Amino acid sequence: MTKSPGPSFLCLLACLSCADLAPYRRDSGRFAALDLRRESPTRLGARGAVQSMADDGARQVVLTDDGPWIIRGQTIERAQGQRHWLKAALIPAADGAGTWAVAIDADGHLCRLRPGVDPEDVGARYGLEHEQIADVATAGGRLVALLLKDAYAIADGARVTRYPAQGVRAVTGGGTRVAVRFDERVDVIDGLLPTAQNPHGTPRGRSFRMKAPTAVALTARGQLFVAAGSALYRENSSGGLSLIYLSAGAPGLTSVVAAGFALWFADGTTLGHVEDGSTALTTAPALAPTSRLLGAGDGRVWALAGGQVTLLATNRESSSAADWDNGLGAVFTRACSECHLPGGRSDVDLSSASAWAARRDEIRERVLVKHTMPPAGRALSEDDAAAVRSWTHEAQRFHP
């Protein structure tokens, strides 16, 4: 494990006072109506009250008061390990082979969950055997961010770097970046993976000073959102934060999560969705007042309240966007984002439905015929290969 004083930080200020706030208010009438679809939820049925869960678009880990469950397609299996779990995640395996279903227990152990096998403490596999782990998040490719006590760590598949960070509250990741929340600022670390402009992958930090940030989220494309009380900010093209939404009053934004390329937020019983620069809101109450949101890798969102979960999605019409939502976007995040984000190492941007549609033949050739993508040593999982295969077949049916 490498220790590091952390990347050097460029400081920026989030500025509220200089803006005219009226257009951003929930009641401004400026926001589009969110057309919401309630999907038939898990078949968890009577398997216990849900405490938390994670969904990467291919698999779900559900922590219930009756133990952990792992769901993949039509298969639902109970994992070993009846104890008090706080948080579940699906993270790139420390040995580089696929994805691990993990959970963190009340003592700060990061454990791999499997059916029929006792939970395996995998902290040591990330070089963190003597640390209490409080949270874990994926950041695209093989990047994993871990929250420790007054520190955080970033694993990139080859090494783990530990950054001391007094007073750190939360870490999150997405689009090959990591965001770290403190009481009076949010730090974002870029350059964790090599790109054409940064061939050695030298981390660079950026610090946003602000009063009491309450949530941070990074989408699969690496777009940063920060909530502070009733205000929601989005990173703009000049690297600052712009206000995009103000809730009408207490309790403010209670849950803000990234899901694939989108952002979801709970404003009381109203559900909000931000994607491609536009914000939409439900017009009728859509959430229980105590709902907690959990983003799914395919862009949908889980609302958890009173031990029950509901899966929600936007109604999409265009078939390529729908394919992207139905799993290809999540395949991209897991298997391609490390090199194919805009400005990424390969110089080929594959981070959208339209980019995939435009390169359909090359993708089929490289991924399914010649097996040269992803590059050697990073084989696609069977599920991900099947998703790409069915997308090329579907696409052929529409555009033979």
Q: Which of residues 193-222 bind ligand HEC (CB under 6 A)?
A: none
- Tokens representing residue 38 in the block: 């309630």
Q: How far is the CB of 394 from ligand HEC (least distance, A)?
A: 16
Smallest gap, in angstroms, from Cβ of residue 344 to ligand HEC? 8
Residue 161 is encoded by which pair of tokens? 């770097």
Query: What is d(CA 188, CA 172) in angstroms, rounded to the nearest whole number?
Result: 10
Q: Which helix (H) or strand (E) holds 339?
A: helix 337-340
Q: Residue 101: CB partners within 8 Å, gap ≥ 6? A: 54, 59, 61, 68, 70, 79, 88, 89, 90, 112, 113, 114
Residues 134-193 that bind ligand HEC (CB under 6 A): none
| Residues with Cβ within 8 Å of residue 166, at least 6 apart in sequence | 150
Nearer to ligand HEC by C-beta: 131 or 298? 298
DSSP state of 380: P
The per-residue DSSP string of 125-175 comes to GGT-TTS---EEEE-STT-EEEEETTEEEEE-SS-EEEEE-TT--EEEEET
Closest to ligand HEC by CB, 68 vs 329, is 329
In whole angstroms, the minimum distance from the beta carbon of 335 to ligand HEC comes to: 4
Binding mask 308-347 for ligand HEC (x = CB under 6 A): ---------------------------xx-xxx----xx-
Site string for ligand HEC, 356-385 (x = CB under 6 A): ---x--xx--xx-----xxx--x-x-----
Task: Please spell the DSSP secondary structure of 54-77, one letter per residue.
Answer: EE-SS-EEEEETTEEEEEETTEEE
Residue closer to ligand HEC by CB (options 35, 394) is 394
Minimum CB separation from ligand HEC for residue 353, in Å?
13
Three-state SS at 300: coil
- Residues contacting ligand HEC: total by CB under 6 A: 19
Closest CB to ligand HEC among residues 255, 333:
333
Q: What is d(CA 9, CA 188) in angstroms, rounded to the nearest whole number?
A: 9
CB of 364 to ligand HEC, least distance (A): 9
Q: State the sign of the Cα–Cα–Cα–Cα dihedral 104, 110, 115, 116.
A: negative
Nearest-approach distance from CB 355 to ligand HEC, in angstroms: 10
Nearer to ligand HEC, 204 or 359 (CB): 359
By CB under 6 A, residue 61 contacts ligand HEC: no
Calpha distance 335→379 (Å, rounded): 9
Q: Find the shortest distance in angstroms from Cβ 370 to ligand HEC.
A: 10
Give the nearer residue to ligand HEC in terms of CB position, either 165 or 350: 350
Name the residues that contact ligand HEC, by CB under 6 A.
Answer: 335-336, 338-340, 345-346, 348, 350, 359, 362-363, 366-367, 373-375, 378, 380
